[in-house]
Structure 1
Amino acid sequence: MPKTRVIVNADDFGLTTGINQGIIESHLCGPVNSTTMMMNGHAVEEAVRLSQQHPDLHVGVHLVLSWGKPLASTSQSLTKEDGTFRFTSRFLKEEPPDPKDVYLEWKAQIEAFLATGLSLHHLDSHHHIHGWSAIDSIIVDLANEYQTTFRAAGNEKHRDLWLTNRFDERFYGEGVSFATLDSITPGSSVEVMVHPANMDALLPSVTSYVNQRLVEKDLLTRYTPPDWWT
């Protein structure tokens, strides 16, 4: 069977300490070989230290527009009165932002990442918002500007900038199982999205996806990939 380049990417690095711990454990004891950092998370400094301690773990930026507060001073149009982003996971039904403001905010998040001294592996986004047709040109502009790639969600016309030629998001919710991981089919390259975590005091307040993160961590740290993964 031909080898397949499989990137197992853990989202939300830097959001909480429990998420950081779950990702690192799933890297050391499981197939996670990549992660993307939320630069406005509660535990970014710890995530940076852990990245420096584990250089075999590729790290990119998990661009945010639907959680927490922005980093750029020019992002008032993207926020509510309390200063947090006005967008949610239901962004497709919400009023689109000005693409220029999104560009400046996401550029600020990337620059904050680069200021840590870490190498930028790729880009993706919280809730896959970079694939929203109202702003999907921004991820293309940023990938070109920073000479990197992005998650294959949307932008079919720019496959040359995709991280992999396939994106698998089935290991989520009801799909969290060994069977889902075993059902990944061979191909030239595929990214598998995961969300492992340990419980911490903040986790229930920052996400509705709580218990399944713990299940994901348990399964990932006990999973042995097939021989054709590379």
Structure 2
Amino acid sequence: MRQLALTADDFGISARVNAAVMQAARDGMLTGTSWMAGAPAADDALTVAHELPQLAIGVHLTLVMGRAVLPPRLVPALVDAEGYFPRSPVRQGVRLAASRAGRDQLRVELRAQIERCLAAGHTPRHLDAHLDFQVHPAVFPIVAALAREYRIAAVRVPRDPLRPALVFDRRHAARKLAEAAIFAVLCRRAVAIARAHGLRIADRVYGHHQTGAVDERYLLEVVRNLPEGVSELYCHPGAAAGDDGELAAIVSPRVRAACDDAGIERRHYDG
């Protein structure tokens, strides 16, 4: 059995991204999307998502490069005076590792992000985080506990196979190698925690090493070499300022035909 979930991240970050996600779900192979609660177009995203009940909505928990949904006075260890998280994942990661108050405030903020999705009439199908920050050692136990509390079946653990990313695209090889080494350690721990909490995870997750460049060629490469089991591929339709290669890949008839020819089932990874 080969199963592939195609997920669009950053739903709600802009009207352009929202439109691209909806087009990818209507006309393409998108099975799910990850919604950012504090993003500028977040409310509009959840409103239009009601038009496509088959689209699996998850919460793209935001801890960096975004705005908190709670006021700064309630989460001062996480945000600046305007309510914005740091742009640097390293800075936020060190802060959370060193500060129990920060972790306590993080739990409250992430709970508020999930509650905002529920209040709009959507039951989250999965949790992940902006920049895959959910696998930070101080963060993942909180995410897993919240998933179990809210009966959210799945979490993303970005175990992205390195070889396909290097064979397909040798650009940024040094970055990909460094990321792979770091995330291998983080993901091993996250897998153990997810399983201990009874959460579903994909066997592998494509797109982390190829972020911003999930075009038709890459998607065809993944589909043609997809192993047995449950896989997720995440992408960012609507993020490009010019030609949107990621949206084009998701709606590509060639990619759909390749999936059909290979007998790949397209469905979300939460069940």
TM beyond 0.5: yes
- More divergent stretch after superposition (92-101 vs 19-28): 92-101
1:58-73 aligned at under 5 Å gives the runs 58-73=56-71
Which residue does 1:180 correspond to in 2? 218
Residue 216 (str. 1) matches residue 257 (str. 2) = no
Count of residue pairs brought into register by the alignment: 216
Match of 1:5 in 2: 3
Aligned to 1:152, which of 145, 154, 157? 157
Aligned equivalents of 2:264 and 2:107: distance in 1?
35
Amino acid across the alignment from 1:215? G
Does the aligned pair in 1 maintain the 2:77–2:105 contact within 8 Å?
yes
1:1-230 equivalent positions in 2, closer than 5 A:
3-73=1-71, 74-91=74-91, 94-96=94-96, 98-148=102-152, 149-153=154-158, 154=187, 155-160=190-195, 161-169=199-207, 170-173=209-212, 175-184=213-222, 185-197=226-238, 210-211=240-241, 214-222=244-252, 223-224=255-256, 225-227=258-260, 228-230=263-265
On the 8 A contact 2:205/2:232 being kept in 1, the answer is: yes
Write the deviation string for residues 89-127 of structure 1: whole angstroms up to 9, x where unpaired.
Answer: 445764325221111100000001100111211111001
Q: Name the stretch that deviates more: 86-95 or 111-120.
A: 86-95
Secondary structure, aligned partner of 2:5 = strand
Code of the aligned partner of 2:249: L
1:133 partner SS? coil
Aligned counterparts of 1:171 and 1:70: Cα–Cα separation in 2: 27
Counterpart AA for 2:85: F
Post-superposition Cα deviations, 1:29-83, rounded to whole Å, max 9, x if no partner, equal 1111100110111112211121111111110110001133211242121012332
* The structure with more helix, counted as a fraction of residues: 2
Deviation at 1:188, TM superposition (A): 1.4
Q: Report the counterpart of residue 202 of structure 1 in structure 2.
A: none
Deviation at 1:159, TM superposition (A): 4.4
CA distance in 1, matches of 2:94, 2:243: 27
SS state at 1:226 partner = helix
The letter of the residue matching 1:70 is: A
Deviates more, 1:115-124 or 1:155-164: 155-164
**1:121-143 superposed Cα distances (whole Å, 9 cap, x missing partner):** 11110011110112221111111
For residues 15 and 4 of structure 1, the distance between their equivalents in structure 2, rounded to whole angstroms, comes to 31
Within 2, Cα distance between the matches of 1:90 and 1:212?
A: 30
Question: What is the CA distance between 1:182 and its match in structure 2?
Answer: 2.2
Q: Are the counterparts in 2 of residues 6 and 192 from structure 1 also a CA contact under 8 Å?
A: yes
Change (3 A) 1:76 1:167: same
Question: What are the superposed Cα offsets for residues 139-198 of structure 1, whole Å, 9 maximum, x if unpaired?
Answer: 11111111222102330213432432211124523x43323212321221011011001x
The amino acid of 1:83's aligned partner reads: G
Of residues 219-228 and 141-150 in structure 1, the stretch that sits farther from structure 2 once superposed is: 219-228
1: CA distance, partners of 2:129 / 2:259: 28
- Give the TM-score normalised by the residue count of structure 2: 0.73
Q: One-letter code of the match for 1:226?
A: C
- Cα RMSD of the aligned pairs, angstroms, is 2.1
Distance 1:87 1:94, change over 3 A: farther
Seq. identity, %: 24
- CA gap of 1:81–1:213, structure 2 versus 1, over 3 A, is farther
Moved over 6 A (4+): none
Q: Distance in 1 between matches of 2:202 and 2:70?
A: 30
Work out whether residues 11 and 193 of structure 1, in 8 Å CA contact, stay in contact via their aligned partners in 2. Answer: yes
